[in-house]
């Protein structure tokens, strides 16, 4: 894995942590169901990109 990929992976992991915290807060409040789905979709795409980087 080159330096650029490692940096991208680091950024994605930070984003994953932030999104998981947002998801926990959104599920406890449940004000906007669309927001909950949006966070889940974004988290799924981040996890997929992390997996892609790990496997390359």
Task: With cut-offs at 50, 70 and 90, classify the pLDDT of residue 53.
Answer: very high
| Residue 29 confidence (pLDDT) | 85
* For residue 6, pLDDT beyond 90: yes
As a whole number of angstroms, the distance between CA 46 and CA 33 comes to 20
State whether residue 46 is helix, strand or coil: helix
* pLDDT tens per residue across span 13-42: 999 999 999 999 988 887 888 999 999 999
């Amino acid at each position: 894995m080159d330096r650029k990929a490692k940096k991208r992976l680091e950024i994605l992991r930070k984003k994953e942590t932030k999104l998981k915290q947002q998801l926990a807060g959104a599920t406890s409040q449940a004000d906007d169901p669309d927001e909950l789905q949006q966070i889940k979709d974004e988290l799924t795409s981040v996890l997929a990109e992390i997996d892609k980087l790990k496997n390359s």
